Amino acid sequence: MLSGKLRSAVIIGGQGIRARKLRTFLSMISLFMGVLAVVTVQAGAEIAERALLTDVELTQGIDGTRAMYIPDNGAAIVEDTVRGRKDAVAALNMSAIIGEPGVRPVNEGGMPFEYAGQGRGGPRGYKWCDQNGCYGAEETQAPKPDGQAIEVRLYALTGDVRTFRPFRPVSGQWLDFASAPAMAPRLVLNREAAKGLRQYHVPAEMQVTGASANMTPQITGVVDDGGMEPAAYVRIDELRTWLPSTAKQNGGQGGPGLQLLLSPGTSDLEQTLRARLVGLGIPADQVQAHEIDSRSRMSSQLSMMRWIFLGLAALVLLIGVAGILNVGLATVGERIEEFALRRAVGTSRMLLAGIVLSETLLTGLLTAGAAIGAGVVGLKIGSQIFGGRHPSLQGIEFPWQAGVAGVIAGLVAGILGGLIPAIRAARIPIATVMRA
Amino acid sequence: MTALIQSPLIQLSGITKTLKGQDEPRTILSGVDLTVHSGQSVAILGRSGSGKSTLLSLIGLFDRPDGGQYILGERDITKLPERKAAQLRSAEFGFVFQRFFLLKHLTAAQNVAMALVNGQGWHSRRKRKAKVLAALDQVGIAHLAKHKPPRLSGGEQQRVAIARALVREPRVLLADEPTGALDTETGNLVVDVLLSATHRGCGLVLVTHDHDHAAKMGRVLSLHDGKLA
Ligand SMILES: Nc1ncnc2c1ncn2[C@@H]1O[C@H](COP(=O)(O)OP(=O)(O)O)[C@@H](O)[C@H]1O
Ligand SMILES: [Mg+2]
């Protein structure tokens, strides 16, 4: 019985659409724009979210982590306090050059290798001074020759920093903090540093300003740390063999030397450390820890943006709905006699309304399908055209959420646009066929 | 007239109907009595606006009467809910109108099949085709099955409409001025086709202005002042 109804509906609906192909097509165009707008916003938001949020925890730290920047004169005491702890890790960062000694690294300044050769090197003759004397002037006289070396940012860790920054393994092994320290410091590179090493075939020799001698590091693995610039990670105790904590560092260019990351719920340790640092004469307001909330802040900003754009897309969709509604009403007006006649030959009111509704619903879904298809193709073409310039756009997949949003938009538009015409169709009195 | 043992096909008694006019409600039917037996034909005459179409729309369950009683076969259907009425329209009645009301984007055969594709039961494509061809054959235009209405003459179009009314083998055929838009000769042909259906036991109610056509029916009644006489 139901199948009789359904099959009748399919035949009648099909006849209706076929008799008005052009009109159906025209009503699809305005709806197409609306659904495409929704699909585009959803896809854009998903891609942006993925690009920004996945790496934010790697670079900034997991939300809830407490971070503290320690002035240079407090570094030693912090290093001592957190040594061997799992709930607090200190990272000392400095510049390091891997490769031939005494040459200018290909990516001077530690920039991504994409910009290698355009070295930050600064204007020749650049010279800066502090209370310890002047630097850079000699370089102007005798610039270092270019050579096989790369510059990286070296992070010396007191413990496993992945508790706070969940690096993704790429190859090899992460640092082993349990074993006895090795004479040749073990290094883990990030992807950019590994790329530089591969590209420039540099010898395994590492120079750090202030170190007693050049080191011969052993590279044990590669991780994705979310960073764009070349970086390397090392156990601080292995580095200390070569670089005593008393050594003068020029490394802290662009940032404090020591960052301390603390697990949530370690306020005792935090209190102790602050007390000790203040005891050293560091002003209390310089040793404030702050809680990391980058991810939640960023995602709330992103979702606000998404809602704004979705609102705009909904307006476009509304225009599409108005279009389909307009066409639906005009069609019903035109088909009054047909509907009256169909009811006269025994088609029920409900079935008739159902047919009108499913005609627009079908139109809506077909449109959604077309818009999703256009989105998929557009994304593919876009990622091919712009993928070269923006690596984050390479190999991007069409997010399924955008597809779902498109189907929902098509359904909603079909229902909104078809309901009123359907109700009108059901209300047509049969006697219309006798009063012509 | 044949003696009838069965109960009548249609029994209307005291049917009243008031329609909302432009200014005030107008009583169109004020106590109509009508009995039709199967195989019987009835002509209804009456001047324009006397309520003939209104009466036919009540018989055909397009609408329900305000008062009186309507018995179809042995069943009282005076206050039939709409869903059941749709079933009966499909199973028991065939309609023919002054304007043929064919869908111009469908072929003659598809127009006839419309009465089979209405959500009331299901016939396979093959069975539909057989029934449609039989109905078209019955009205003498099986050869026009694939033609669309704009290519058919008025008489042919009306015969397609009659085939559509007959395809479900209804018990009652209701025709509202079916010859109104046709010339005399074609009109005669159409009336003969309608009348031939009564030979198979179908009841026929024909509303017409044409006294010659009325005279061909078994009974001739006239609607006047809301009553049938
Ligand atoms: N939907 C309606 N609402 C109100 N009055 C109507 C309606 N349809 C028809 N009428 C009126 O009812 C009367 C009878 O109409 P109808 O049954 O069509 O007459 P006939 O078919 O005999 O010409 C006419 O006066 C007509 O104006
Ligand atoms: Mg009339």
Is B225 within 8 Å of chain A by CB? Answer: no
Q: Which residue of B has its CA nearest to A336?
A: B101
Q: Which of B56, B114, B122 sits opposite A345 (nearest CB)?
A: B114
User: Which tokens in the block code for residue B100?
Assistant: 């043929």
What would the pLDDT profile of A104-156 be if each residue is shown by its tens digit?
Answer: 899 888 889 888 766 544 444 455 556 555 555 444 445 677 788 999 999 99
Residues of A in contact with B56 (CB under 8 A): 434
Q: Could you say which DSSP state residue A247 is in?
A: S
pLDDT at B174 exceeding the cut of 80: yes
The closest residue, in CA terms, to atom 2 on ligand 1 is: B19
Confirm if A188 and A219 have CB atoms less than 8 A apart. Answer: yes
The per-residue b/e assignment along B201-223, b for 16 or more CB within 10 angstroms, e otherwise, is ebbbbbbbebeebbebbbebbeb
How far apart CA A351 and CA A357 sit, in angstroms, is: 10
Among A193-197, A290-294, A384-388, B46-50, the range scoring the smallest mean pLDDT is: A384-388
Instruction: Please give the residue that has the higher pLDDT: either A10 or A253.
Output: A10
Instruction: Please give the residue that has the higher pLDDT: either B2 or A321.
Output: A321
pLDDT at A250 exceeding the cut of 60: no
- Are residues B105 and A344, on separate chains, in Cβ contact within 8 Å? no
pLDDT at A387 exceeding the cut of 90: no
- Are residues A434 and B53, on separate chains, in Cβ contact within 8 Å? yes
DSSP states along A124-152: TT--EEETTEEESHHHHHSPPPB-SEEEE
Mean pLDDT highest for which of A178-182, A251-255, A389-393, B155-159? B155-159
Among A18-22, A123-127, A187-191, B98-102, the range scoring the smallest mean pLDDT is: A123-127
Mapping DSSP onto H, E and C, the string for chain B reads CCCCCCCCCEEEEEEEEEEECCCCEEEEEEEEEEEECCCCEEEEECCCCCCHHHHHHHHCCCCCCCEEEEEECCEECCCCCHHHHHHHHHHHEEEECCCCCCCCCCCHHHHHHCCCCCCCCCCCHHHHHHHHHHHHHHCCCHHHCCCCHHHCCHHHHHHHHHHHHHCCCCCEEEEECCCCCCCHHHHHHHHHHHHHHHCCCCEEEEECCCHHHHHCCCEEEEEECCEEC
The residues in A 178-237 lying below 8 A from B, measured between CB atoms, are: none
The pLDDT of residue A140 is 46
- Are residues B122 and A3, on separate chains, in Cβ contact within 8 Å? yes
The closest residue, in CA terms, to atom 18 on ligand 1 is: B53
pLDDT at A385 exceeding the cut of 90: no
Sign of CA dihedral B115, B120, B123, B125: positive
The residues in B 6-25 lying below 8 A from A, measured between CB atoms, are: none
User: How far does the CA of residue A431 sit from the closest CA of chain B (Å)?
Assistant: 6
Q: Which residue of B has its CA nearest to A349?
A: B83
Q: How confident is the model at residue B47 (pLDDT cuts 50, 70, 90)?
A: very high
pLDDT at A420 exceeding the cut of 90: yes
CATH class of B40-62+90-228: alpha beta
User: How far does the CA of residue A325 sit from the closest CA of chain B (Å)?
Assistant: 23
Break chain B into its structural domains and give their ranges: 40-62+90-228
- Are residues A348 and B86, on separate chains, in Cβ contact within 8 Å? yes
Confirm if A421 and A332 have CB atoms less than 8 A apart. Answer: yes
The pLDDT of residue A402 is 86
The pLDDT of residue A254 is 40
Instruction: Please give the residue that has the higher pLDDT: either A338 or A397.
Output: A338
Instruction: State the average pLDDT over residues A214-218.
Output: 92
The pLDDT of residue A257 is 75
What would the pLDDT profile of B117-156 be if each residue is shown by its tens digit?
Answer: 999 989 999 999 999 999 999 999 999 999 999 999 999 9
pTM above 0.80, yes or no: no
Instruction: Please give the residue that has the higher pLDDT: either A76 or B68.
Output: B68
